[in-house]
Structure 1
Amino acid sequence: MASRTELPSTLARPVDHETVVKKSRFLAHLAPAGSVAEADDVIARRRKELWDARHHCVAMVLGTHADQARSSDDGEPGGTAGVPMLEVLRHRGLTDVVAVVTRYFGGVKLGAGGLVRAYSGAVSTALDAAAAEGAVLRRVLLHEVTVDVPHADAGRLDNVLRDWAASHGAVTEPPRYDAVAHLRLLVPADALDTLAADVAAASAGALSPTVGDPRVVDVPARRP
């Protein structure tokens, strides 16, 4: 089997973090966004909430393979805010995310280099906080798998599959019931052969999994 496909990560929920650089406050707001329209809504809300700030600099990365990106310096010197923020998102391997960093000027000019470090640092620090809070999700390509089980054996096999999923990077889904119990999992490609062997062993060779289409699934990232 081919190895598990690596995809960009994303966020489970919005994250806020503030940094202060030479009396200027940089308020980073990172949020999941599945489209440009969703990202624009996040930006508009942030501008409304923090209406008294002069700069709301933006970076967004979108698409399953992180193939769409946009940034804005929002009045800061060209190249000192949006692009550095965008580079952090790309370097961290994120997608379907928008970052808005709002600056309240503290009276001390930072210079171009200082602004680059401050804006990129604001996003980087917010992402560190997101990771520590468990707000980062890994995206993986998993195959839909069904194991059809007689009702009399469904409880035992369901427990077997839940334990198996927990140790093989798989995800269980709610079963469906009709003439038999349809136990469902989402399984990495490189674990499909192992699953087939383990299901056969647990059922004395009576059962085998049916493998369906692959699906992109968000799962909790490992804590740093």
Structure 2
Amino acid sequence: MSDSPDFYFTIQQTATAEFKDRGSKFLAFAYPLKDKEQVKDYLLQLKKEHPKAVHYCYAYRLGLDKNDFRVNDDGEPSGSAGKPILNQIDSKQVTNVLVVVVRYFGGTLLGIPGLINAYKSAAALALQMVPIIQCAVLENYSLHFNYTAMNDVMLIVKQYNCSIIQQDTQLFCYMQLGIPKVRKNEVLFKLNDLQGVEITAL
């Protein structure tokens, strides 16, 4: 039996917050994240919206194994921006989340402790603004079946909150399905009960 979790926590919508310290303004943006490619898009968007800002520091965590993360200080002293942001993501125990903090310099140097506090506070405020949701960990399977079994398959898909990742419905149907790990045995049992449905783990 694997000890990987059945559920994980994440956010579904974006949130913004602002933190000020001695004239410097820190705008924090929390985003739900599907993949690393989105990070570039969000950063480009923020640089367009805030062209006069001096730093765009960020951190993200992706996936369930806790190994896929990145911190970026974007010119701030090493460890003073990205890491405090990541620590806030981790303290909320969420994943598939990106937090970017955009800084407008106010003329006064804050020192490393001041920067750590500002980036940490801005990230924490943004994450407080957004509801945290629990998602089921999905395991992927492919199904091949005759079109006549479609209604029975869809009934099981809806009943157990499975996610259809891909489907091709013709006379012979193909479906790629994400099955909630916690209900996997029941779903597979029911699908195996149907006539002419082939199931393969991906």
Structure 2 length as normaliser, TM-score?
0.68
User: Once the two structures are superposed, what CA deviation does each residue of 1:108-151 show, in whole Å capped at 9, x if it has no partner?
Assistant: 7655434323212222222333336xxx6847241315373562
Residue pair 1:30, 1:98 contacting (<8 A) in 2 also: yes
Q: Which residue of 1 aligns with 2:47?
A: 47
Q: Which residue of 2 aligns with 1:117?
A: 117
The aligned runs of 1:4-153 (5 Å cut-off) are 5=5, 15-22=14-21, 24-31=24-31, 32=33, 34-35=35-36, 38-61=38-61, 65=65, 66-72=67-73, 74-75=75-76, 77-91=77-91, 92-95=93-96, 97-105=97-105, 112-131=112-131, 138=135, 140-146=137-143, 148=145, 151=148
Shift of 1:69: 1.9
Matching residue within 185, 189, 192 for 1:193: 185
Distance 2:147 2:103 in 1: 62
Shift of 1:106: 5.1
Q: How many residues align?
A: 197
Identity of aligned residues (%): 22
Return 5+ residue gaps in structure 2 as ranges.
none
Structure 1 length as normaliser, TM-score?
0.63
Per the alignment, in what secondary structure is the counterpart of residue 115 of structure 2?
A: helix
Distance 2:98 2:3 in 1: 30
Question: In the alignment, residue 20 of structure 1 is paired with which amino acid?
Answer: F
User: Once the two structures are superposed, what CA deviation does each residue of 1:84-117 show, in whole Å capped at 9, x if it has no partner?
Assistant: 112223443424x543211234577655434323
Distance 2:194 2:102 in 1: 61
Return 5+ residue gaps in structure 1 as ranges.
215-224
Distance 1:53 1:150 in 2: 56
Residue pair 2:61, 2:68 contacting (<8 A) in 1 also: yes
Per the alignment, in what secondary structure is the counterpart of residue 177 of structure 1?
A: coil
Distance 1:101 1:53 in 2: 10
CA spacing shift, 1:11–1:143, aligned 2, 3 Å: same
Residue pair 1:4, 1:141 contacting (<8 A) in 2 also: no
Per the alignment, in what secondary structure is the counterpart of residue 130 of structure 1?
A: coil
Question: In the alignment, residue 17 of structure 2 is paired with which amino acid?
Answer: E
User: Once the two structures are superposed, what CA deviation does each residue of 1:32-73 show, in whole Å capped at 9, x if it has no partner?
Assistant: 3633x6534533442342122233223244567443423215
CA spacing shift, 1:210–1:190, aligned 2, 3 Å: farther
CA spacing shift, 1:30–1:143, aligned 2, 3 Å: same
Q: Which residue of 1 aligns with 2:155?
A: 160
Distance 1:207 1:60 in 2: 45
